[in-house]
């Protein structure tokens, strides 16, 4: 019942990520069948790689759990917050962000883009909730808009490449600017319009007034320090 209460886009994406990782762990498939490879996609028509490279976050471990927690939490807060009752718009953001990352992925040496996609979600949420105070592992206290940059610094400390973080921040900023900033500028307007076919498929005519969304004023939803100890 708790699983079914998770909003549909968040439920579908996180479930697909977990099932993909489980299939790799069980050796039903290998990462070599999933990763982003333009030559295999466009010359050998392995179109599924356009999607599967967003679903695998590496073997089960600290990095996988860290990404899953962030993906689930911030995807859900977006879907139940600023995208409440606008499932089609949320799906369109997924498609727009995925398309941009795929285009950028042609020029950078990245084989899996799921982490960059998570950073994009975090970036959009953080810019739409600028006054929320964050507590990172009990060490840093800062306003929400700094969260993507703190995560990038954390990746740097772990010895990971920050290219993936920069890609997520860049795509998130492009979406935020086109959707939230430019329409409110003098002479600006909405350049991103959700196709009517998506609205016909995903938007429901009525909203349940008794449904309680996940409160956005409780960012993270878990003890940062607990997350740190998972890798210990």
User: 105 in a domain, yes or no?
Assistant: yes
Which range marks the domain in which residue 76 is found?
8-184
Residue 220, pLDDT above cutoff 90: no
pLDDT over 90 percentage in the chain: 50
| DSSP state letter for 207 | -
User: 230 in a domain, yes or no?
Assistant: no
User: 216 in a domain, yes or no?
Assistant: no
Tracing tokens 């993270």 back to the chain, one arrives at 220
User: 88 in a domain, yes or no?
Assistant: yes
User: 169 in a domain, yes or no?
Assistant: yes
With cut-offs at 50, 70 and 90, classify the pLDDT of residue 71: very high
pTM value is: 0.83
Mean pLDDT of the residues in the chain? 84
Residue scoring higher pLDDT (35 or 205):
35
User: 17 in a domain, yes or no?
Assistant: yes
| CATH number of the domain within which 73 lies | 1.20.1540.10
With cut-offs at 50, 70 and 90, classify the pLDDT of residue 208: low
Concatenating the DSSP letter of every residue in 168-223 gives: HHHHHHHHHIIIIIGGGSTT--------HHHHHHH--S---TT--PPPTTS-SSS-
User: 70 in a domain, yes or no?
Assistant: yes
Residue 91, pLDDT above cutoff 90: yes
Residue 47, pLDDT above cutoff 90: yes
Straight-line distance from the first to the last Cα atom of the chain, in angstroms, rounded to the nearest whole number: 32
User: 87 in a domain, yes or no?
Assistant: yes
Total number of domains in the chain: 1
CA distance linking residue 217 with residue 209, whole number of Å: 20
Tell me what pLDDT residue 54 has: 94
């Amino acid at each position: 019942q708790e699983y079914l209460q998770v909003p549909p886009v968040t439920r579908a994406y996180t479930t697909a990520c977990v099932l993909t990782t489980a299939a790799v762990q069980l050796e039903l498939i290998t990462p070599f069948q999933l990763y982003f490879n333009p030559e295999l996609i466009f010359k050998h028509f392995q179109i599924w790689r356009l999607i599967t490279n967003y679903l695998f976050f590496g073997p089960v471990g600290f990095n996988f759990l860290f990404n899953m927690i962030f993906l689930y939490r911030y995807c859900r807060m977006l879907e139940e917050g600023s995208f409440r009752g606008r499932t089609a718009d949320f799906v369109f953001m997924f498609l727009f962000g995925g398309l941009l990352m795929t285009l950028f992925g042609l020029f950078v040496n990245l084989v899996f883009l799921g982490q960059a996609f998570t950073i994009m979600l975090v970036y959009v949420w953080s810019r739409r909730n600028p006054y929320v105070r964050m507590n990172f592992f009990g060490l840093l206290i800062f306003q929400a808009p700094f969260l993507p940059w703190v995560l990038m610094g954390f990746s740097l400390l772990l010895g990971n490449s920050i290219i993936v973080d920069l890609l997520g921040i860049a795509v998130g900023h492009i979406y935020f600017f086109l959707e939230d900033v430019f329409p409110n500028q003098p002479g600006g307007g909405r350049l991103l319009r959700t196709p009517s076919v998506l609205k016909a498929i995903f938007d429901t005519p009525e909203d349940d007034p008794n449904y309680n969304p996940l409160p956005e004023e409780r960012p993270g939803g878990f003890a940062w320090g607990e997350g740190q100890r998972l890798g210990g």
